[in-house]
Structure formats: structure tokens, C-alpha cells
Amino acid sequence: MQIHELTIAEQEALNSISAAKQLSVLDDVRVAYLGKKGQISLYLQTLGTLPPEERKAFGAAVNSVKERLTIALDKRKEVLEAEALNAALIQEELDITFPIRSRPLGYIHPVSRVIQECTSILSAMGFEVKEGPEIEDDFHNFTALNVPQDHPARQMQDTFYLNAKDHHDKPLLLRTHTSSVQIRSMIGNKPPFKFITTGRVYRSDYDVTHTPMFHQIEGVYIDKRIHMGHLKGCLNEFLRQFFELDTVPLRFRPSFFPFTEPSAEVDIGCARTKERVVIGAGSDWLEILGCGMVHPSVLKNIDVDPEEYQGFAFGVGVERLAMLKYGAPDLRAFFESDIRWLSHYGFTLSMIGGGK
Amino acid sequence: MKITLSWLKEFLETDANIATVTNTLTAIGLEVESVHNPAANLESFTVAYILEAVQHPNADKLRVCKVASGQEELQIVCGAENARAGIYVVLAPVGSVIPNGGMKIKQSSIRGVESQGMLCSAEELALGLASEGIIELPATDKDIGRRYVDVAGLNDPVIEIAITPNRGDCLGVYGIARDLAAAGIGKLKPIAISEIKGAGKSPIAVEIKNTQACSLFLGRYFRGVKNTASPAWLKQRLQSIGVNPISALVDITNYIMFSYGRPLHVYDADKLQGSLVVRNAKEGEKFKALDHKEHTLNASVPVITDGTEVQAIAGIIGGEKSGCSQTTKNVFLEIALFDPIMVAKAGRTLDIITDSRYRFERQVDPNFLVGAMAIASHLILEICGGEASEIIQSGDHNFKLRTVAFHPTAVESLTGMDVDPTRVNKILEALGFKYNGSEVVVPSWRPDIEGEADMVEEVARIIGYDHVPAVSLRYVAPRAILPEKERRKEIARQVLAGYGMLECITWSFMPANEAKRFSELKEGLRLLNPISNDLGYMRPSILPHLLSAVVRNVSRGHQDLALFEIGPVYHDVGIDAQEIMAGLIRSGKAVARNVHESERMIDIFDIKADVLGVLKACGIESDALRIERKVPSYYHPGRSGALLLGKTILAYFGQIHPLVTKAYGISVPVVGAEIMFNRIPLAKNTSSSRKALVFSDYQHSVRDFAFIIDEKIAVDDIIRSVKKIDKEKIQEVNLFDVYQGKHTEATKKSVAISVRIQASDHTLTEAELDAISKQVVETVGKLGGIQR
């Protein structure tokens, strides 16, 4: 009889628990059944009135009902709490389409970026970086490099001269190439020499394809048995990595520079579309750099015996590389500090990570 | 240098097609810049004959022509004055496209008269020649209906070649043919012209006064010539490379110059007052040249005179007065050897560019005077008739052939190419060298060959650089990618870009009058030959160019800027005086108007943060720096400072002086900074530059203090003196409030700091913390601060 009532009471309790929509209601249910004067608690108080043989079994039954209800209450409580939290959080909702708090990205100039890239490629190939002055004297910029006294490059229409003189009473000048730094780094030292120089150079020219200041990367490698084949191997590898290609089509053409013999100009294979030049594919050639075997007179000028040592040198324009790799069309824009250009063609942060 | 395929074949026996020729030229160092076949867009044009030309009924200037096209009789309306019956003309049939302008010819009615095509002028065909009226062809009836390009011999590709300055010998078609023959493209035809025996002495003699400018002068007098128009073949040669034919005598000299790279000059002998003298011009001497300009000469310009006045500038240009005309009867031919350097200098000084100058500057063959004389004499007599005198000579024929040591193994050693010695012999022979196995005799036309390396290039270029094997370098990477000094610049780039700044690169030179605002001018930093005055002075700072950049960007509507540049600046004259600087500029708002926070203008603490960030990344902690009000005058005197390490100023920062920003026309606030990289001491060794890290896990406490203190006391002094109390336990001192106003006395301010205290070996007791707090109050008290 009593067991029957207990079962009904449990069922009612469970129904009330699942029907409870609020934590306060659920608590009322708990008090009504499991509170001190709750229905189930009251059954325990009636235990004493039962015959001893029924007492044990009925006690156990009441306790297990109590346990099941407690579990059901806890579970329901969890659910209601979660619902309550959700309801509260929904109240805190923000318009997630708001603009961000300003955290501007800066940009590194494409010229710096290209110098970084070239430096890291050539460094891995064993070239050390050397630096030197941009105001130069005639000896380091011309004479040591076997540029004849009457060579057109020395003329006022090609080279910028300063209103100041060197020790030999010749006007100081703005270096026309970074080869002057090579001379400074080699003179008074013994080969092997294997380094690159980068930086600003100056030539008196200002039109659509020339600016009076631009940047160069030049390399030199002098040792006992370095020949044109090494030059070819070096440039193949350098340009392949720079343009991020599996192979790079190169064409070496005989040319002339006072400081190299034999001399060559290097063309890179490309395809010209209306918008840009695509490097590495197609049937066209594009001149990209000058190079050659260091002229014996240059070696003599830096007190290196050309009978014993020989090697190669190359030079390339940084802006040209930047234009080809990154498609910046107008050379003059490189130096105009227009923030629209800088943020379009510039690079954020780390070179190795890529960055845009 | 322009050549045509047919001109080349005049000297080179070859069946090679145009593609083979051009590819070979580029491969052997004669870079082909362009190939153009004038016939390409003239294929539909034919030769026609005007049967009849009558006045147009409705237009004064037009004629109505009946034209025989070979297939039919056409009626064509033509506006040319020379359109008349009986001439052979170029017909643009209906459907063809006129090269100049791209007009498509349609059957049409012109002022009421039907017209079935067009008769063309040289200009309309874009032949690059001056033209009056329609072309009149020297054709016959057999030519009617044939393609114009075939009749006129226009189907002849023009090749433009970039000749390097060492290859004067290739400034003539013959030299190019020789190189091609050496490369296996055909056989070079020998120059086989016999000398002509002259009759009688030349009435004009030559005296060389300046033997440095002119070492040898050959001359010949031709009597009774007829300076007619040149024969068709000669005209066509010159026209094909864009040179207008003038008269037979002039055309002959041009033909020899372009064929053999040998300039010569013809004087109308009757216009000369006496014998020729080679001397230097007198200072200020005037000369009217063939370019129809009057040139004022100076004493360094070698000239040829006739005893009374200048008749030519040596090797550059002849005179208008003694130039040959159609009435010339007696002519004097000059073939001289002028000094390349003197010609170059004179040409530059006078700014006269001629084909003759171009060749003398690059050295002509000193052994090809007699040969050129023979060729010229033959042509003059053949075309112009007359009688040649004996050759007169002034100066010495003292050219000696040079020898250069050369061993074939040098080719392998310098290029890595394994070459068969017999191949080497063959190449050298074809190029005109005489080789005995250890020495080569250099041909007279190759003054550029000085040593073995040059010989290696000769062999290598003819074999082709394609055959040089690519050999990988052995990689031994250096200790570090960049030397420390260079690495600084990269660090700064990363830090500043990370702070949202844009890297600029601007000119190293600037206007001197603008530089004056930033530094005292030094004469030695002026360029003698700037591109313009705006680029005439080496910049003492990067800030001026960045300020100009601000102006330009503001004018495009961008006011909130953060720019930097890392580059050279110059305060002193000399090679070692260059400094590397980072210049920084911020302008406008630091925080623009936005939904999250209130807007804020840029101030000096923004730029100070940039500077300290860079210095910290370069290894200089801000605690190690002192700050002083020692700044250049282009900073705001009250809102700027210098950061010093010991006595060395490493950087300046601050608001740009309002007078400076005003001068630039900038109205937004601008702060700037300069960091002098050379002055930052180099870390001895970057890998060990960090001390071992010591940190404490014991509990820390933060105590806040507020003081009333004299407004003149710098906050930094308070912070530094508090830090000094206990360098170990006082780990941080932060300023969190400064107040000056109603609640403070007039000359006082309230300064609030928080102090973080922690010991490395135990948790500090309340008593210990109190003791430190007491010391803080005492220390600030010594500076006059009273705790609130």
C-alpha cells in the first residue's frame, strides 16, 4: 500500500521537476518532496509505525527514491542554469560587424625588401656584406676600376661632382656604383674575396626610366680558379631563388665594361603581357644585369696578382628587380613617398615569413 | 648602328636568313635592338601609271587621274601637285591600309567624283623620308602591276644593333660582316679595290700644325666633277637606314662611312681660299657648320682652315661655306686620322653630335686611309666623272701593329670552356688576328685588345657564352648575414613598420635654401652639376624630405601620417663624414575619430615611444639613456629632447618647430625624430649579449604614492631617484597621474606614482614594505615633494 503511494509520489515529483521552467520553481519542488516536511521525508518519519518486517524494505525504497529525485533535481538545475546564463549572454550581444580598433600596419619599402631578399640568398651562397661611403673619390670610383681618364662616365653629364676635392686635388663625387666599396674592401687585403655590396648610387639622369639616385647590389668573388662557369652557376642560383622559380632561363651575351673582361650582359626569359612582364616563361628576353671576369688591370690596381688570382663580378639594379618581381610599373614612384603607393607595394614585417 | 640585310650581303657571302643573322649578332656581342622590315605593311601597294590627269570639276586643288593598275583602268582623285600623265606612281588599292595614320582605302566619291584608290607620297608610306607630292618611280611599263616593295627594293630588313663603345670597328657594315663570318655565318668578301693613279699635283696642300689632334692627313683633288644626284643603288642604300640622299659627293662619303666605319669629308675646292691647315681654333672664333648653326669655338677645338677661316671642325662637321653643292666642279677629299680624345672633347664642348664624331671618338682603323681613298676615288670618278690628282699626304703613317701574349689554355682557365686549339686558330684568323701559338698580332682595327683576357673574350664570344658550363659555387655561409652596423638598420625597419610606420626612400640631395633651415651650409656639400637646383645640396637631415612628403600626402587628403626613412645624411665634407640616420615623422591624429574611443592628436610621446623602441631593439635600454633639452633649432624648444648615452647624443625627438611647419605650409601637428645609427655602440658579440635571467616567484606588492611638488621638477627625476632606493626590490615605478589646477598651488603639481616591490628570496613582510615606503616618501621629499 505504502509502496504504491511512494511510487505515485516519485512519479509526481519527477513530473514537477521536468515541468519546472525556473530555478525558483525547481527549488519549491525540492522543498515539497525532499525538504524537512517534504512528502518523501515524511515517509521516513512514518517508518516507526510500520511492522519491523516491512520497515527495512520500505526504508530502502524511500531512500532510493530520494536519491533518484536528487539526481533529477541536479540535472534539471544544470539545464535551467545554462538556460539562464544563455539568456543573460544574449542580452550582452554586440554588433560584431563594428570596425576594429585601429592597429595600423606599417610597410617596408620594396627596395629594402629586395635588398633583404638578395642579401639572404647571396649570404647563403657565401657572400659577405660590405658597406662603404656614398661620397667617393675619383680613385675608388673610377681609376681603380680601370675606367679611362677620358671615359664618358667621368663627365659632368654622367657623374655628380661635389664642390670639394680629394687628396689628389680631384673633385669628390657621388659614387656611380657600389663597386667603389668592393675596391675599398679588397685593397690592402688578400684574396679570397667573396662579398656583396648594396646601396644608393647616383647618376646624372632623370627621365621615365632613370632617376638620379637608385640602388645596386653588386657581387665579387676572387680566388685562384674562379671562372665564368662559376659566375653562370652563381647567377643561375641567385636569380632562380630570387624569382622563386624551379629553373630560370638565362642568356649570357658578350658585352663591354671597363672593369671586366670578358664581360657579359644577362637576359632573363620572360613573357610580356599587356599589364606586366612575367619572368621565367615565354619567348622574350629582358636584360637584367651586367657581369664578367674582373679585369686584370683592376686586380693590379688592388695589388692582387692576376697571374695567380681571378674571379667574377656582377651588378644589378634593385629597383629593376623590384619592378620585375613585384610589378611596380613606374620607377619615379619609388621615391615619391606617396602613402598609397607605399602601402600598396610595401611589405609588412618579416621577410622570411613572406608578409604582404 | 643600322644595317640592312642586303647591305650586309654586299660584304658577306651568305645564305643565312634574317633570324639566323640576328640571333648570331646578339650571341657574339653585337646586340640586336630591333629588326624592321619596311616591306611588312606595304605588301598590297603596287606600281601604277598615270594615263591622264585633268582638273577636278568642283575643286581647284584636286586632279582626276586615269590610272593603269596593270589589271584595269582606275579613276583616282589626287591632291598632289605633281600628279600628271606619264609618271609611274605607287597605288594604294581599295582595301589597303595607309601605314602612316592607318587609314583604310575605300571606294568613295570626292566632291562628286568617283575615286577608286589613292596615289601615295613617301610620307604616307612612313618611309622616314621627306616628301613633296606623290612618289614618282623610275620604273618601266613592265613594272606596272608589280608590288611596289619589289620594284623599289624595299623588301630588305633593317637591323638596329647596339655597338659597345670598345667596338669602333663594328660602326661599319664591313666590320659586322667580319664578325659574322668568324661566327660561321658566311664568308667575308675581301676589299679589293686597286689604287687609282692620279694625274698631276693637287693645287691644295695640307699642313698639320697640331700633330696631336691629327697625325695623318691624306687628300686628293678632283677636277671637273659633276655633282649630280646619286644613282638609284646608292640612294637606296642610304634611304634604307634612314639617311636622306643629298648629292653624289656627299652620299659617297656617307656610304663609305656606314660601310667601313671610315668618315671622310669633301670640300668644294673652289670655295677654299688656299691650302688647308689643321690647327686649334682661336678663342671665340666663329664657324657656320653644315648643321646651319653658328658655333663659337675655343682654343681646345681642333679645326681645319683654309688659311683665312675655319672650314671644318676636325672629325666632327664640315663648314657650310665649303660644302659641296650641285654646282661644285672641283672637289677636295679629306681622309684624316684625328685623335679620339680631342674629337670627343670638342664634340662635348660644342654639343655637336654627328656620325663622324661618333666614329672618331671610338677610334677608326689607322691603317685604312689609303684603302678608303681608293674606294672613294673609284666612286667619285665613276659617278661624278672628272679627273683625280695624285694623293697628297701630311703627317706620318707610323702605325705599328701590336702583339699580345695569348695561350689557348687561358680560355679554359677564365671561362671553364674546353676549346679545341684549332678552333681557336680559326676564330682568330677570321677576326683578322695573326697567331703563332703564343702571341697574337692585333689587327689595326682592334685598338680595344690589350691583353690575354681580351683574347679570351674574342674566342668565347664567337663560340658563344651558351657553351660556358654553369658550375655551382661551394656554399660556405658567412658567420652572420649582416654586419652589426647593417643589422641595426634592418632592426629599425622591423620595429618602425611594426609600429605602423611607412618606410620612404627620398633623394640624398635637396635644395640648399631648404637645407639652410636644418644646418649651416657647407660649400663642399654642394653639387657642382646637379640635375636641378632642387637637388643641389647633400641633405643634413632626412626630416626635410619627410616634411615635403607630408605636404604632398596632405594635399591628397591624407593627414594622419607615420613615415620613416633610413639613409645617409651629411654634416661635414669628406668621404668619412657620412652618417646613417633614421628620420621619423608623425602627423595629424594618433587616434582618428572612431566608434570605440575618443580621437587624439599626435604628440611627442608617440614619437618618443618610436625612438625608445628602436634603441631598445638595438640593445640600448631606456634606463641607460639621459634626456636633455639640447636640440637643433628646427624642434619646438619646449617640446623636444635629446637622448644621450653618456655624452653622446643618440637621438632627437620632439614637435617640429611651428615656424618650420609653417614654412612648409603644414597646418596639422607634426612630431619628428632623428636617430643617429653610427653613434649607437656596437654590441661586442650578439650571441652572448644577454645576462642570465633572474626572477622571483615570491609575492610582490604595489604601493601608490601621491606628492605635491614644484612644477619644474621633471617626472623622470622623481622616478629615477625612487628606483635608486633599492635597485633589486623596486622593480618598477610607474607614473599614473599628473594634476595641476584648482586643487594645487600655482607653481605646484600633483604627481602620482605606483611602485612595484618584490624581493628575490622571500615574501616581504608588512614591516619591510613600510620601511621601503618610508624611504620613497623621504627620497621624493628631498626633491621638495610632500606626500598627499
Q: Please write the tens of the pLDDT for every residue from B199-209.
A: 899 999 999 99
Strands (E) located in B69-189? 73-78, 88-92, 108-110, 113-115, 118-119, 158-162, 187-188
Confidence of residue B413 (pLDDT cuts 50, 70, 90): very high
Mean pLDDT of B30-42: 89
Inter-residue contact B431 to B460 (CB < 8 Å): no
Q: Check A255 against B164: CB less than 8 A apart.
A: yes
Residue B35, pLDDT > 70, answer yes
Of the candidates B415, B472, B482, the beta carbon closest to that of A129 is on: B482
Q: Which among B49-63, B387-401, B560-574 has the top mean pLDDT? A: B560-574
H/E stretch holding B724 = helix B715-725
> CA quadruple A205, A208, A209, A214: dihedral positive or negative?
positive
Please determine, for residue A178, whether its predicted confidence score (pLDDT) is greater than 60.
yes
Q: Is 80 exceeded by the pLDDT of residue A2?
A: no
pLDDT tier, B517 (very low <50, low <70, confident <90, very high otherwise): very high
Mean pLDDT of A130-136: 94
Is A272 a residue whose pLDDT tops 90?
no
Mean pLDDT across chain B: 92
Nearest CA in chain B to A159: B529
pLDDT score, position B685: 55
Here the cell at position B18 is 634574317
Q: How far is CA B5 from CA B9, B13, B439, in A?
A: 6, 11, 35
In the prediction, which pLDDT does B173 show?
97
Cβ contacts of A164 on chain B, cutoff 8 Å: 523-525, 573-574
- Best CA proximity match to B357, nearest among B332, B333, B340, B335: B340
pLDDT for the residue B695: 82
Name the 3-class secondary structure at A232. Answer: helix
- The arrangement of strands across the sheet holding B206-208 comes to B206-208, B276-280, B302-305, B310-313, B317-318
Sign of the Cα torsion A267, A272, A277, A278 reads negative
- Comparing alpha-carbon positions, the chain B residue that sits nearest to A251 is B466
Q: What is the DSSP string of B448-484?
A: T--SHHHHHHHHHHHH-GGGSPP-PPP----S-SS-H
- Whether the pLDDT of residue A353 is over 50: the answer is no
Chain B within 8 Å of A265 (Cβ-Cβ)? yes
B56 pLDDT exceeds 60? yes
- Mean pLDDT for B344-352 is 92
pLDDT for the residue B38: 82
pLDDT at B483 over 90: no
Selecting from B29, B475, B525 the residue whose C-beta is nearest the C-beta of A254 gives B29
Q: Give the closest-approach CA distance of A150 to chain B in angstroms.
A: 7
**Cβ contact, residue pair B505, A111, below 8 Å:** yes
Residue A1 has pLDDT above 70, yes or no: no
Q: Is A57 helix (H, G, I), strand (E, B) or coil?
A: helix
Name the residue of chain B whose CA is nearest to A265's CA. B29
Summarize the confidence of residues B230-243 as an average pLDDT.
91
Q: What is the pLDDT of residue B684?
A: 60
Mean pLDDT over B448-457 rounds to 95
CB B604 within 8 A of CB B671: yes
Q: Is the pLDDT of residue A356 over 70?
A: no
How close does chain A come to B259, measured CA to CA in Å?
A: 23
What is the mean pLDDT of the segment spanning B615-629? 91
State the greatest distance between any 2 C-alpha atoms of chain B, in Å, as a whole number.
128
- Identity of the amino acid at A175: R
Kindly tell me if the per-residue pLDDT of B40 is higher than 90. Answer: no
pLDDT (tens digit, 9 = 90+) per residue, B288-303? Answer: 999 999 999 999 999 9
Q: Please answer yes or no on whether B575 and A133 come within 8 Å at the CB atom.
A: yes
Q: Given an 8 Å threshold on Cβ–Cβ distance, is B468 in contact with A232?
A: yes
**Which pLDDT value is given to residue B130?**
62
Dihedral of the alpha carbons of B240, B244, B248, B254, in degrees to the nearest 10? -70
Within chain A, residue ranges assigned H as helices are: 2-19, 23-34, 39-45, 52-91, 110-124, 138-141, 179-186, 228-242, 296-301, 318-326, 339-345
- Min Cα separation B27/chain A (Å): 6
Residue B436 or residue B161, greater confidence: B161
Residue of B nearest to A306 (CA): B453
> For A312, which residue in chain B has the nearest alpha carbon?
B414
Weakest mean pLDDT among B111-125, B539-553, B625-639, B661-675: B111-125
pLDDT, tens digit (0-9, with 9 covering 90-100), for B129-169: 666 788 888 888 888 989 988 888 788 899 999 999 999 99
Model confidence at B732, in pLDDT bands (50, 70, 90)?
A: very high
Residue pair B60/B77 in contact by the 8 Å Cβ criterion: no
- Contact present, A338 and B551 (Cβ < 8 Å): no
Give residue B742's pLDDT: 85
- For residue B524, pLDDT beyond 70: yes
pLDDT more than 70, % of chain A: 97
Is B471 in contact with A252 (Cβ distance < 8 A)?
A: no
Chain B residues in contact with A221 by the CB 8 A cut-off are 473
**Scanning the structure block, which residue is given the C-alpha cell 651558351?**
B466
* Cβ contact B465–A131 (<8 Å): no
For chain A, the average pLDDT equals 91
Query: Is-cis flag, bond preceding A262, omega within 30?
Result: yes
Query: pLDDT digit string (tens) for B578-592?
Result: 999 999 999 999 999
Would you say residue A311 has pLDDT above 60? yes
Which residues in chain B are contacts of A127 at CB distance < 8 A?
478
- CB-closest option in A104, A129, A164 to B573: A164
pLDDT tens-digit series, residues B11-30: 999 999 999 999 999 999 99
Which residues fall within 8 angstroms of residue A140, CB to CB, at 6 or more apart?
Answer: A175, A180, A183, A184
Angle at A208 between CA A205 and CA A212, to 5 degrees: 25
CB pairs under 8 A between A and B: 260
Most B CBs within 10 Å, among A118, A204, A227, A341, to test the B interface: A227
Which residues in chain A are closer than 8 Å to B505, comparing Cβ atoms? 109, 111-112, 334-335, 337
Q: Do A164 and B524 touch (CB under 8 A)?
A: yes
| Range list of H helices, B72-168 | 148-151
The alpha-carbon gap from B474 to the nearest alpha carbon of chain A, in Å, equals 7
Nearest-angstrom CA–CA distance, B387 and A317 = 59
What pLDDT is recorded for position A6? 85
Residue % of chain A over a pLDDT of 90 = 69
Rounded to whole angstroms, the Cα distance separating B14 from B20 reads 11
Question: What are the cell numbers at B640?
Answer: 623636444
pLDDT at position B128 over 70: no
pLDDT, tens only, B323-334: 999 999 999 999
Q: How far apart are CA A292 and CA A283, in angstroms?
A: 25
Which positions ≥6 away from B657 have C-beta within 8 Å? B633, B634, B635, B636, B637
| Closest B-chain CA to A105 | B500
CA distances, B425 to each of B405, B455, B573 (Å)? 14, 11, 55
Per-residue model confidence (pLDDT) at position B689: 61
- DSSP state at residue B312: E
B41 vs B214: which has the higher pLDDT: B214
For residue B331, list its beta bridge partners. Answer: B222, B268
Structure ipTM = 0.87
Distance CA B781, CA B714 (A): 14
Residue B404: is it exposed, middle or buried by C-beta count within 10 angstroms (0-12/13-18/19+)?
middle
- Which chain B residue shows the shortest CA-CA distance from A110? B503
A190 touches chain B (CB under 8 A): no
The per-residue pLDDT for B686 is: 55
Q: What is the pLDDT of residue B4?
A: 95
Q: Quick check: A17 and A26 in contact, CB under 8 A?
A: yes
State yes or no: cis peptide before A192, omega within 30 of 0. yes
User: What is the average pLDDT across B773-781?
Assistant: 94
Average pLDDT (B213-242) is 93
End-to-end CA separation in angstroms for chain B: 90
Q: Which residue has the higher pLDDT, B695 or B395?
A: B395
Residue B374 has pLDDT above 90, yes or no: yes
Q: How far is B487 from chain A (nearest CA, A)?
A: 10
Q: What is the DSSP letter of B98?
A: -
